């Protein structure tokens, strides 16, 4: 079955740029992941200087995630005429749960034994595990949870998106209405974000952190990433020449670099309505440039590639490592604590990649092999 994407027939399984076929794992996207998690590490470690770095990194992740997950769904539809929901969600579980279980398990052990953050004394460890494993951190909850899982709100936003998006995408593609899907989804998310921000400003200005984490506040980034994947033929053609690519790269990097220093980005309506969309647009340009690149990335980008490879665990662990090293505080970290936290975060992330996350990859491969064998037997 050929998908009608960008007004022309195309396949979801392969991608060509010029005369070459793009590799299954694009090192340019790993560089982008590395830069995004690097921005998050800067924002966590020096929040007084890099006030917008954390959310800028998160926005890049949202756009990239929307692009990649929509690609996974399109390949399934192309090859099997449907989304295999069981396989899709099983793959998500194999990818995400091993590192998450390890992270929350270590958190629970440390707090139950040492009570570093006072969570045992507050009686919130169980609630924290419920919010973490349930992907609920982005929602208003009727109970308190630990600061240690603060960054999990972004994972909650993504997983809630993946509960809704596959069915909507299948419905739209079956009717060749993907443009309407993107347009209406973006409009609804932007309307809900506007309503929540205005309600906060009028009724409860102190609840900015609650609005900041809502799934609708930054969900537009996921939709933009999905649109890039649906219309990548057109998007790639916009940056076909060397000069346009260099200018686009420079412009996007400058925009994101400037937003890294945006004051009080997590509570500023100006960032919600201006900075956020600008970051999403710049991130979209970088995703297109990385995804359409057919050559290997330069050698000097290897550190960012490696950081991008372990970015998931680095994102999970960095905040709680800072809290544990700095007595439960994230403000005004001493330089030694900040550097030590980054070094320890990277060590834990690499360990996670080669241990629990490796188990997840092995489990996924065995899962696929088992069901492929069953399918071959039926054939």
CA distances to 12, 64, 239, 379 from 172, rounded to whole Å, are 15, 21, 27, 31
How much is the pLDDT for 157? 97
pTM of the model: 0.92
CA distance 312 to 54: 14
How much is the pLDDT for 332? 73
What is the per-residue DSSP string for 71-125?
Answer: HHHHHHHHHHSS--HHHHHHHHHHHHHHHHHHHHHHHHHHHHHT-TTSHHHHT-H
How much is the pLDDT for 376? 75
CA distance 62 to 56: 10
Residue 214 C-beta-side C-alpha neighbours within 13 Å:
19
Residue 199 C-beta-side C-alpha neighbours within 13 Å:
11
Helix 85-113 to helix 311-325 angle, to the nearest 10 degrees? 20
Domain boundaries, the chain: 50-310
Q: What is the pLDDT along the chain (379 residues), one digit of tens a residue?
A: 334 444 443 443 344 444 344 445 689 999 999 999 999 999 999 998 999 999 999 999 999 999 999 999 999 999 888 899 999 999 999 999 999 999 999 999 999 999 999 999 999 999 999 999 999 999 999 999 999 999 999 999 999 999 999 999 999 999 999 999 999 999 999 999 999 999 998 988 888 888 999 999 999 999 999 999 999 999 999 998 889 999 999 999 999 999 999 999 988 889 999 999 999 999 999 999 999 988 889 999 999 999 999 999 999 999 999 999 998 888 778 889 999 999 999 999 999 999 999 999 999 999 999 888 887 777 6
């Amino acid at each position: 079955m050929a998908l009608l994407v960008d007004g022309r027939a195309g396949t979801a399984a392969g991608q060509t740029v010029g005369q070459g076929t793009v590799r299954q794992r694009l090192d340019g996207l790993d560089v982008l992941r590395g830069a995004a998690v690097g921005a998050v590490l800067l924002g966590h470690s020096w929040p007084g200087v890099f006030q917008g770095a954390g959310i800028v990194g998160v926005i890049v992740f949202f756009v990239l995630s929307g692009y990649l997950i929509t690609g996974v769904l399109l390949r399934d539809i192309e090859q099997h005429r449907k989304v295999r929901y069981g396989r899709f969600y099983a793959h998500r579980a194999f990818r995400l749960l091993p590192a998450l279980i390890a992270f929350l398990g270590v958190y629970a052990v440390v707090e139950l034994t040492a009570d570093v953050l006072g969570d045992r004394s507050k009686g919130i460890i169980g609630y924290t595990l419920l919010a973490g494993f349930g992907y609920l951190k982005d929602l208003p909850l009727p109970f308190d949870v630990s600061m240690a899982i603060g960054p999990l709100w972004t994972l909650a936003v993504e997983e809630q998106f993946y509960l809704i998006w596959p069915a909507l995408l299948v419905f739209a593609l079956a009717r060749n209405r993907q443009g309407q899907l993107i347009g209406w989804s973006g409009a609804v998310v932007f309307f809900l974000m506007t309503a929540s921000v205005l309600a906060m400003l009028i009724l409860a200005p102190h609840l900015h952190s609650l609005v900041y984490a809502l799934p609708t506040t930054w969900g537009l980034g996921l939709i933009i990433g999905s649109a890039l994947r649906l219309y990548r033929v057109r998007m790639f053609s916009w940056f076909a020449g060397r000069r346009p690519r260099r200018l686009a790269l420079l412009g996007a990097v400058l925009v994101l670099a400037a937003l890294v220093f945006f004051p009080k980005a997590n509570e500023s309506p100006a960032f919600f309505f201006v900075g956020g969309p600008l970051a999403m647009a710049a991130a979209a340009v970088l995703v297109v440039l990385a995804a359409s690149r057919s050559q290997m990335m330069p050698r000097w980008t290897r550190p960012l590639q490696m950081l991008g490879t372990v970015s998931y665990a680095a994102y999970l662990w960095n905040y709680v490592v800072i809290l544990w090293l700095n007595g439960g505080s994230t403000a005004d970290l001493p330089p030694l604590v900040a550097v030590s936290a980054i070094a320890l975060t990277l060590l834990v992330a690499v360990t996670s990649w080669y241990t629990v996350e490796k188990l997840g990859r092995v489990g996924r491969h065995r899962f696929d092999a088992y069901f492929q064998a069953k399918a071959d037997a039926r054939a």
